Structure 1
């Protein structure tokens, strides 16, 4: 019996000693690695602090560069495009430097950037096409911020708000924002409505065949000569454009400042209607005259 008690006591002692041994091993493990872990945590804290400081420095540098570009007379769209490119490069440099500080080797970073570059090229072919298109737009300058353009491929049009790395943003006349890929804009036909300092108004109105053509032309010329937005030092043309099926088409042309085009067009069109009504000059509906020949019966 005494032997059994001794054996039981030994077993209990071993069971109590086993967890204590595991705990001691765990404590020794952490004690051995604690300095390294503390060093790593300090490095991570420093990296985060440097990142946020670097972010503020980058924003400050971008503001300085923007002021320099503005003083140099660069166009606003070019400034926005270059700042986006410089910002991306600065962040790449910042992140690479912080990774090196954490112990990542320069060769590994270079290999990673290379492999990422290959992956990005394969996955973002369209985006890179837009980036290349942005560079072309920046160099060729078919339009600048503030121009009113019309993209002929899909009919999008509006005032250029910004030219980014990949997209150009337009503000439509009804205040919507349209984002057009730079690759499309650089590879399709496009109309810059406000590139020139004047724009020709081209209108046509139909009058009845019974109306006096000379009187109608005189009325139209008077309207153009008295409108305050029509450039009076430029030619004003009124002419018979076509003898159509139901009317005589009178065309008239005048020159306007680009910003006056639409208000003047709407105003002149309305004035023509009132002036023709006052002179009794009818604007006919489209019509067909049908003549019925009677057959003589014997």
Structure 2
């Protein structure tokens, strides 16, 4: 009779431990989420870490309740440890993506809407999750890149700066007048409103090539204007240089053919 009463009391205590423990876990989880929010940690990362903490605390509550019932929990802990090791080995790739995702979310090398090159892909970032980064390519293709590839290599962010420099190289003939060529280039640069005055543009001879004198044309534009300005100015400089009497040479090769004399 006594043992039955003791068993009933232990069951009641175990239930009380579980119920009160679950309430405490909920309160602590909400506190953790609030702390993450105040620290301005990304909502995705905060929710994931809070969920992990919730699961770990719940396991502690369950173990405490089982211990109150007299059930040996050492074997359960050993089983959980072995299962955790097996899961970790099986999901090591996912864990690497998770670790990289945490680093990306914390250090913010890019944000949604940025145009970047990372993980062998170039495109606009449409989403950042714990395990993957979603990007949209210029061809309007959606590419899902594992965070381990993104964080494990070089990340080029084309959107983080407000301005970008365009580098062009225009080759003219050795017979052309360099002053005419440079004046023509400056005239084209000064007539395009998209080209910034500060920093100032640079036009100068950079290299004496095998078949041309290479003039570099460096100028700055606002980042959204980069691509169209580069294409427009490349075309305009070719047309204007040719109109000014300058030729744009290309490699040529003279082939001389000899016919052997026939023997008498």
Cα separation, partners in 2 of 1:168 and 1:113, compared to 1, 3 Å: farther
Q: Tell me, what secondary structure is at the counterpart of 1:118?
A: helix
5 Å-filtered alignment, 1:70-89, equals 74=40, 78-83=42-47, 85-86=49-50
CA distance in 1, matches of 2:113, 2:72: 45
Q: Is the 8 A contact 1:81 1:163 kept in 2?
A: no
**Could you say what secondary structure the match of 1:260 adopts?**
helix
C-alpha distance in 2 between matches for 1:267 and 1:87: 53
* Matching residue of 1:199: 164
Counterpart in the other structure of 2:125:
160
Per-residue CA deviations over 1:12-70 (Å, capped at 9, x if unaligned) read xxxxxxxxxxxxxxxxxxxxxxxxxxxxxxxxxxxxxxxxxxxxxxxxx9xxx89x95x
Tell me the distance in 1 between the aligned counterparts of 2:92 and 2:129.
17
Does residue 258 (structure 1) correspond to residue 256 (structure 2)? The answer is no
Q: Given that residues 85 and 165 in structure 1 are in contact (C-alpha distance below 8 angstroms), is that contact kept between their aligned partners in structure 2?
A: no
- Give the Cα–Cα distance (whole angstroms) in 2 for the partners of residues 240 and 210 of structure 1: 15
The answer as to whether partners of 2:100 and 2:151 remain within 8 angstroms in 1 is yes
Counterpart CA distance in 2 for 1:120 and 1:249 is 60
Question: What is the count of residue pairs matched by the alignment?
Answer: 219
**In the alignment, structure 1 residue 190 sits paired with structure 2 residue 155:** yes
Aligned to 2:140: 175
Question: Is residue 185–residue 241 contact of structure 2 (8 Å, CA) maintained in 1?
Answer: no
Q: Is the 8 A contact 2:171 2:248 kept in 1?
A: yes
**TM-score, length-scaled by structure 1:** 0.62
RMSD: 3.4
Which of these residues, 98, 120, 126, is aligned with residue 93 of structure 2?
126
CA distance in 1, matches of 2:43, 2:72: 32
- After TM superposition, the runs of 4+ consecutive aligned structure 1 residues lying more than 3 A away are 72-75, 78-90, 105-116, 288-292
Bigger radius of gyration, 1 or 2? Answer: 1
Structure 1: runs of 5+ lacking an equivalent = 1-60, 293-298
Task: Give the unaligned 5+ runs of structure 2.
Answer: 1-29, 258-264
> For residues 154-204 of structure 1, what are the alpha-carbon distances to aligned partners after superposition, in whole Å with 9 as ceiling and x for unaligned?
631111111111111111111111222212222212212222221111111
